[in-house]
A and B are shown apart, each in its own frame.
Chain A
């Protein structure tokens, strides 16, 4: 396994998640072990219900596994409580979501500032302006999400994800709510920033074309890794 590699930023060992259902315990994820190196781009693919989102939630420390361990940027997530995991996320993780998840009551600039403010960092405003300029939205900083197009909203979300210079960026179907052309532009931007800042990109998608742009594809079926390429 690649888990032994020296510059591993994200690794799991025997990761599993079970939930109780009316039919008894249900395994959503079983025995997932993987290792992702710094700067790598990885696509997690699979059909609906394969456990992609669950794996993403566990990798990012948003949820707790029922078995196994997760290590993120040197932190053993499974040994931390909710607040501990939040602190790790604040320092090492960025997110881009399918439905953007911008706060409607904040302007584009304020949305990008939010993770910096939560981390208690000085000069949130300056850093946020800089990143917004990099995604081409210098003119839109004062706009509220409802005043922006879908593509613009996702660019704000990408700016928010990169503003903390995260070690790992998790993206959940980032083009799922966008038309093909806009989606392509967004992905160009994402890969460009990824390459420029050396961030590790973990992308959940069922879009083959999108997955093919990643350095590696991990296939998930019924909660198990069924294959990896290349």
Chain B
């Protein structure tokens, strides 16, 4: 007893640590170091429902587990889509999987982009590199109910023309009149005729009404900090700016302690934060 008397009965106590098995339906390369996986539940049951911005813990047999944002359409639960960059042992092992292989999935975890709160607003989505993946569900979601929003602007910065993620989809979206998409690269040679420079350089020219804009940013922390500076310079209120943070994660549900950023557990208090909630922490050294 002693405090523990309030513990739930074992039957009522789920086990967060157990993955559910999913089968790889498709796995394809996006760029030289990124790939997308489409998963379906191995038991044939319904897949999970998720909100834009949430992530899953993906497990490869015997290798390990990594937190990966869901990059698919929240209105279409099957397949479950993740886009990954190959940077470590687990993502490399995931890269070698083939259709029919099994992965373990835990989730979805974390907070979501404010897709509902942003109704009626102009939207500015700012993505750096693979940071476009967690924002893609937002695009799917708002395109599905496009009339509820004002202008929709996507500003995407990546290293080189060869690193442009979701190229075909972006081309398709660019041809729409109700989406304003700007892409910039850090460096390029011909035949690239687009923008060269950091993504923040696109902010001054984008067309949106700052006072009635919701901004969602995902990318390296330095890119997010400078994007926020530019956005606030244009007059976007701080509490209309949302960021998605990255930290080491082992559990996804606040037990392992790895993702702490000051008092926040990025896994369950985030990864998506409204800027004022994380402002002080983002500006401190090595928090």
- State whether these chains interact: no
By a beta-carbon cutoff of 8 Å, the part of chain B in contact with chain A is none
By a beta-carbon cutoff of 8 Å, the part of chain A in contact with chain B is none
